[in-house]
Amino acid sequence: MVTRWLERSLLFGLGLLTVTREKVVQFVDKLVEEGEVRAEEAPKVVERLVARGEEEREALRKLIRDEVARWAPPSRQDVEDLKRKVDELAARVEELSRARGPESAAESAGQD
């Protein structure tokens, strides 16, 4: 619950930081006015900038999700799976102890 809220908060902040297409168009129009970009190239420049921004936004989203997942508490299913594995291992140890016989158990007790 908390990790989902944290992820959403971070992604919301990311959304506030991303540049909208409208802002990119305004920026490129200014470059056209200043002679830095030719008018016929402007649409291609806008598309490249928007695409690059989207790629970077997706990379940052993935990074945020990966970091949030790293710090997320284990799920109920994870705990149940781990409990099942521990129970299986405990049963196997018990089985092996019985198979070794009473002499081996006494020897093991004397080694501690």
The three state secondary structure string of the chain is CHHHHHHHHHHHHHHHHCCCHHHHHHHHHHHHHCCCCCHHHHHHHHHHHHHHHHHHHHHHHHHHHHHHHHHCCCCHHHHHHHHHHHHHHHHHHHHHHHHHHHHHHHHHHHHC
pTM of the prediction? Answer: 0.47
Q: pLDDT tens digits for 8-29?
A: 666 665 554 566 788 888 888 9
Can you give the pLDDT at residue 31?
87
Q: pLDDT tens digits for 45-87?
A: 888 888 888 888 888 888 878 887 787 788 899 999 999 999 9
Every domain of the chain and the residues it spans: 1-73, 75-112
- Residue 14 tokens read as 């990311």
